[in-house]
Structure 1
Amino acid sequence: MDQTLMRMLELSYNGYYCSQILLLLALDAQGKSNPDLVRAMGGLANGLGAETGTCGILTGAACLLSLYSGKGSDDEREDEQLKYLLRDLYEWFDLTIGGRYGGIGCATIVGDRTEVRQRCGAITAETYAKLQELLAAAGYDLTEGKNS
């Protein structure tokens, strides 16, 4: 079991949701801490809290991409690659995860919830690997924050 998976299991055990775990992994890679951001990411979990919305892994992943390439202050600019990164993420998630479970809604993916931890954990790991791939292809160093 690799270090990332061990960290994901630890975070899950400590009560973090999938969307929070993705951002915590990115913040860990950057050597940063941001409890306010992590707390806010909890709002994406469980399909926006009611399992009726889009999977929190997908929406959390979109936030992670924006963490690296979005606008966060007056003196920053959004990287023009962000819209392509988001498109590629969505297309991959819809095809891969949506194809596997019949859609990208939380309730569709978790089904009767009998395997929710295993299913969501595996999807979170798979999505984090895809995010690393997308960001590396776009020229981002995962250990650094926003490119200048």
Structure 2
Amino acid sequence: MLDDSGLKMIELAGMGYCCSQIMVLMTLDEIGRENPDLVRSAAGLCNGLGDCSGTCGVYTGAALSLGMYSGKGAEMEEADERLALMLESLRDWFTEATSHFGGTRCGDILDGLCGQPDPARCGGLISSAYAQIRQILVDNGFDPSEGRNEL
């Protein structure tokens, strides 16, 4: 049985959002914000950078999500020193989570069926990655429900 997050992910996929956009939208929803420009930007990461030859959009979208909490976003702001460690944790987890697919590229995960996300594979990865970024945030002293203060 799916939880509220799982149902939200299915709803977003049904609306035509790709994996990277779903990761960003779930994070924005968690912190109570909207940012259509960021969601549109995440579309550039869809389908492994468009042709499935690049890194899976679940991973790149999760990295964007971590950056929302700890990256530099304004001239008078500094990136949080924990960002590099959080990204390393995400990379290590994602590499392990996708090892049975043969790699972290979208094409590896989809067995070369570019543009046709597999609901079980992709949905499972999205759900697991969303839980993982929340855990990484908590492990590093962040509250996933509170985004970085806007200047």
Q: Which has the higher helix share?
A: 1
Give the corresponding residue for 1:125: 127
Distance in 2 (alpha carbons) for counterparts of 1:68 and 1:145 = 6
Does residue 103 of the first structure (1) align with residue 107 of the second (2)?
no
Give the corresponding residue for 1:30: 31
What is the RMSD computed on CA atoms of the aligned residues? 1.5
Distance in 1 (alpha carbons) for counterparts of 2:73 and 2:80 = 11
Q: Any idea what the Cα deviations from partners look like across 1:106-132, whole Å, max 9, x if unmatched?
A: 101111537712211111111111001
- Following superposition, the deviation at residue 18 of structure 1 comes to 0.6
Does residue 75 of the first structure (1) align with residue 76 of the second (2)?
yes
Q: What letter is aligned with 2:73?
A: G
| 2:52/2:112 contact within 8 Å kept | no
- Following superposition, the deviation at residue 143 of structure 1 comes to 1.5
Tell me: CA distance 1:147–1:88, structure 2 relative to 1, closer, same or farther (3 Å): farther
Q: Any idea what the Cα deviations from partners look like across 1:12-61, whole Å, max 9, x if unmatched?
A: 00000110101111111111111111011011010100111111111111
The alignment of Structure 1 onto Structure 2 pairs a total of residues equal to: 147
SS of the aligned residue for 1:100 comes to: helix
Tell me: CA distance 1:115–1:35, structure 2 relative to 1, closer, same or farther (3 Å): closer
* Unaligned stretches of 5+ residues in structure 1: none
Give the corresponding residue for 1:12: 13
Q: Taking structure 2 as the reference length, what is the TM-score of the superposition? A: 0.92
Give the corresponding residue for 2:54: 53
Tell me: CA distance 1:40–1:12, structure 2 relative to 1, closer, same or farther (3 Å): same
Distance in 2 (alpha carbons) for counterparts of 1:31 and 1:108 = 34
Give the corresponding residue for 1:63: 64
SS of the aligned residue for 1:71 comes to: coil
SS of the aligned residue for 1:50 comes to: coil
- Following superposition, the deviation at residue 146 of structure 1 comes to 1.2
| 1:94/1:104 contact within 8 Å kept | yes
